[in-house]
Amino acid sequence: MESIRVIGESARAVGIKVNTQFPEYQALVDARNKGDFDLLINNEKQVSNSPWEYYDYMFRLPVQDTQSVANFGRYENKKAWDLVQQLDKTPVDDTAAMKKVTSQLQKIQLTDMPVIPLWYNGAWAQANTSVWTGWPSAKDGDSHYAPVTWRNWLELGGILTLTELKLAEAK
């Protein structure tokens, strides 16, 4: 909601008329899935080990009456979708082929702007060491497990994070 407020204020400050709304979550999801919006902040796509995930989210076809996981703006570009499918079949270690396909997809994205990426939503978390220590950090020797528990990340590192925690010494 804060991002919506800031973006709305910034747009109005430069003369772009933007009316911000903050519907209940289910109303937002219903409008998003039906394509009933002009602008939408959507934070559904999460961290992935492949750019395919992002391009599938942006260009997925066919467009349906209800889009519940991707392409909420109902952008239709057969060439882009063909490239996404080609990227899906490209081995991740074939960096030259990956670059060739993603360069073409990036050109379509930047020309047509079916979505406007505003920030990278990495797997982040906050921790407090006053009660527990051993939280993941970038320091050598520290745990590097993903400490987040949202969107099924608990089984991808959250449990291992818990095994590294130790009770903090009383002060």
* pLDDT at residue 74, rounded to an integer: 96
Cα separation values, 88 from 54, 55, 75, 84, 143, Å = 11, 10, 19, 6, 32
Backbone φ and ψ of 159, nearest 5°: -65, -45
- Asked if residue 80 and residue 57 are part of one domain, the reply reads yes
* pLDDT at residue 161, rounded to an integer: 84
Rounded Cα distance between 21 and 4, Å, is: 8
* Contact (Cβ atoms closer than 8 angstroms) between residue 24 and residue 63: no
What domain range is 3 assigned to? 1-41
* pLDDT at residue 155, rounded to an integer: 65
- 98 — pLDDT class (breaks 50, 70, 90): very high
Would 127 be classed as within a structural domain?
no
- Asked if residue 143 and residue 108 are part of one domain, the reply reads no
How many structural domains is the chain composed of? 3
- Asked if residue 37 and residue 80 are part of one domain, the reply reads no
- 64 — pLDDT class (breaks 50, 70, 90): very high
How much of the chain exceeds pLDDT 70, in percent? 89
Would 126 be classed as within a structural domain?
no
- Asked if residue 136 and residue 110 are part of one domain, the reply reads no
Query: Which tens digit of pLDDT belongs to each residue from 8-53?
Result: 999 999 999 999 999 999 999 999 999 999 999 887 766 676 789 8
Would 4 be classed as within a structural domain?
yes
